Chain A
Amino acid sequence: MEVKILSANFDTKDAHKIKVAKKHGAYSTLDKLFSMKPEDVTDLVKNSGLRGRGGAGFPAGVKWSFLPKNTGKPVYLTVNSDESEPATFKDRYILVKDPHMMIEGIIICSYAIGCHDAYIYIRGEYTTQVKALQAAIDEAYAAGYLGAKVAGHDFKLDVTVHRGAGAYVCGEETALLESIEGKKGQPRSKPPFPAVAGLYGCPTIINNVQTIASLPFILKNGADAYKVHGTEKSPGTHLFGISGHVEKPGMYELPLGLPLLEVIDKMAGGVWKGRKLKGVIPGGSSTPVLLPEEAKTVTLDYESMAAHKTMFGSGGIVVLDETVDMVKLVKNLIDFYHHESCGQCTPCREGLGWMLKIVKKILASDGTIDDVNLLRELCDNIEMKTVCVLSAACTMPVRSYLDKFRHEFEAYVATNDSLAAEAK
């Protein structure tokens, strides 16, 4: 099942060091790169069908082509390595195991979009990882792949690591920009989109680590070689993180389009402890949950996930066994998003707190059926009424648990009813 494009060298000793990485072909695409016109590089990426691997799945080459031409302003690239969506841990492997693949990707993207200052925004919790990344960047500078003349060509590129400090919302691209500018991470209203007015008000491209790391393969082997894998609309491979109640949790690189349950069984060893499957979160905690019967028919690509009314997201698959209390899980989710709300918009700041209070009340067997209905109603009232989608990242999954596992919420309410009856 596995197709190792990005993870080809993850298991090799010292693959993160430039000496070993070069043996694996790191930086070998640069001569070809500088012999091409920048717009041809963008076209190549467009033709490969590579989609943004941060969660939204927007075609990368198309995003680059939104940059306005000749504005007289510098163009910036920021690599989104915030990776904070619960159940997502794929980019970390690239940062630690093969960082030169990503740095080469940064050079490729920067050349295509005309960027001379790239920033990697890495989440603050990645303490050991930021050191590994900085060491790789230092190696690339020492070897002449970064700096005043990239690989001897007349192209200047500086790459700077900018550390976040514990805010989930900074994975949202405009909050990320605010954070690099030294402000608190509160998302901006859009439009204007970052491609037009991004970092320091200049045209800016923001791409996920995995998106950027996919570029050397595409440049080296061509768009068709990339499209061999995956489906027509979701080409290529993806680093899937499988966690939760499976025998072998971990990171697996797979082509897009494989059946979800088969992947869980064959790669991750199936549901642990011989238990039954209760549900699957397909792409990070913000994606709506799938019932076992839905999981049977869904495949791991953007289109199939949308057809099943959920999202591909970040490829962070969470398996839930039959013992999971969905009301408690919902509390855990709301707790997270409420904690991470930046506080800018009232529906999110106050609404998620209200939802948390209600679910706590239900869990304490103190709730009524009206509380369950109110929780469901709040989802509709909060969603899409805020500057960014953080609140929707909470309400979309919560709504799915309320709709698919409503009986569990009602069971808590019933305990309350019987307690009330006893009290009489």
Chain B
Amino acid sequence: MSDRSQLISTGKPFQFDKERDAEFERLIKRYPTRESMILPALWLIQEQEGWISQEAMAYAADRIGTFASKVYEAATFYTMYNLHPMGKNHICVCRTLSCWLRGKQEIVDYLKNEIGIQPGQISDDGKFSLEEVECLGHCGSAPVVQVNGEFHENMDVDKLKSLLATLK
């Protein structure tokens, strides 16, 4: 997850599904320049596929009518864009100030042990990926863990155990 310069090719052409296509067309009317669609288009791709391939970036550039390099620039700058497939359950643990003060390390250590991967890695079966991320904006209910976008607040090892049991 650390190398954000390498693009991965799927060898297959990409295109939006019907729902994303409609959302793209709705949004593009809202901006006076087509380049403003770069971030929204990358989000739509990631929603559809879970990550953003080289072909998907080229597709976005074509749809927007801009250079592929501009799409590449945004995709590599913004760390929430996944540039390769992630685990089926992508677990983010907040590592910043308030979560750090209230025991995020215990959470990370437990996950490392339980899943058997380091932050930044994906488990061999593709079931889990683990990442330590910067402040998630839930400092009042720290420590916080985000699984596939869903927040789990006031976490401790016991809660983590029950949470992991629900993830398939």
CB of A163 within 8 A of chain B? yes
Mask of B125-137 contacts with A, CB within 8 angstroms, 1/0: 0000000011111
Question: Quick one: given A84-B135, A89-B138, A243-B98, are A162 and B40 in contact (CB under 8 Å)?
Answer: yes
Closest chain B CB from A2 CB (angstroms): 15
CB of B57 within 8 A of chain A? no
Q: Are A165 and B42 in contact (CB under 8 A)?
A: yes
User: How long is the Cα–Cα vector from A12 to B11 in the complex, in angstroms?
Assistant: 52
User: How long is the Cα–Cα vector from A158 to B29 in the complex, in angstroms?
Assistant: 11
Q: Are B96 and A182 in contact (CB under 8 A)?
A: no
Interface size on A, residues (CB 8 A): 55
Q: Are A182 and B38 in contact (CB under 8 A)?
A: yes
Closest chain B CB from A77 CB (angstroms): 14
Q: Are B142 and A243 in contact (CB under 8 A)?
A: yes
Contact partner of B137 (CB less than 8 A), chosen from A74, A83, A165, is A83
User: How long is the Cα–Cα vector from A74 to B80 in the complex, in angstroms?
Assistant: 32
Binds B, one of A49-57, A102-110, A117-125, A348-356: A117-125
Q: Which residues of the partner chain A approach B40 to less than 8 Å between Cβ atoms?
A: 162-163
Question: Quick one: given A128-B150, A179-B39, A243-B98, are A249 and B77 in contact (CB under 8 Å)?
Answer: no
CB of B9 within 8 A of chain A? no
Q: Are A183 and B80 in contact (CB under 8 A)?
A: no
Q: Which of B112-165 contact A (CB under 8 A)?
A: 133-142, 146, 149-151
User: How long is the Cα–Cα vector from A87 to B140 in the complex, in angstroms?
Assistant: 8
CB of B55 within 8 A of chain A? no
CB of B36 within 8 A of chain A? yes
Q: Are B137 and A167 in contact (CB under 8 A)?
A: no
Q: Are B73 and A183 in contact (CB under 8 A)?
A: yes
Q: Are B32 and A87 in contact (CB under 8 A)?
A: no
User: How long is the Cα–Cα vector from A309 to B36 in the complex, in angstroms?
Assistant: 40
Q: Which residues of the partner chain A approach B74 to less than 8 Å between Cβ atoms?
A: 182-184
Q: Which of A77-125 contact B (CB under 8 A)?
A: 83-89, 92, 117, 123-125
Q: Which residues of the partner chain A approach B16 to less than 8 Å between Cβ atoms?
A: none
Q: Which residues of the partner chain B approach A333 to less than 8 Å between Cβ atoms?
A: 97
User: How long is the Cα–Cα vector from A371 to B136 in the complex, in angstroms?
Assistant: 32
User: How long is the Cα–Cα vector from A241 to B140 in the complex, in angstroms?
Assistant: 7
Q: Are A332 and B97 in contact (CB under 8 A)?
A: yes
Closest chain B CB from A135 CB (angstroms): 15
Q: Are A158 and B43 in contact (CB under 8 A)?
A: no
Q: Are B140 and A125 in contact (CB under 8 A)?
A: no
Give the A-B pair count, Cβ closer than 8 A: 150
Closest chain B CB from A200 CB (angstroms): 6
Q: Are B135 and A127 in contact (CB under 8 A)?
A: no
Question: Quick one: given A160-B30, A181-B36, are A165 and B102 in contact (CB under 8 Å)?
Answer: no
Contact partner of A86 (CB less than 8 A), chosen from B27, B31, B32, B96, is B96
- 29 pairs from A and B in contact (CB 8 Å cutoff): A83-B137, A84-B134, A86-B98, A88-B137, A88-B139, A89-B138, A89-B139, A92-B137, A123-B137, A124-B43, A162-B40, A165-B39, A165-B42, A165-B80, A166-B133, A167-B78, A180-B36, A182-B36, A182-B39, A183-B38, A185-B78, A244-B97, A245-B102, A249-B98, A250-B140, A250-B141, A281-B97, A318-B97, A329-B100
A residues lining the B interface (CB < 8 Å): 74, 83-89, 92, 117, 123-128, 158, 160, 162-168, 179-185, 200, 241-245, 249-251, 281, 285, 316, 318, 320, 324, 329, 332-333, 335-336, 339-340, 342
B residues lining the A interface (CB < 8 Å): 27, 30-33, 35-40, 42-43, 66, 70, 73-74, 77-81, 95-98, 100-102, 133-142, 146, 149-151
Known interface pairs A243-B142, A249-B98; 12 further A-B residue pairs with C-beta atoms within 8 A, sorted by A's residue number: A124-B78, A126-B137, A128-B149, A166-B80, A166-B81, A168-B134, A182-B36, A243-B101, A249-B140, A285-B97, A336-B135, A340-B134
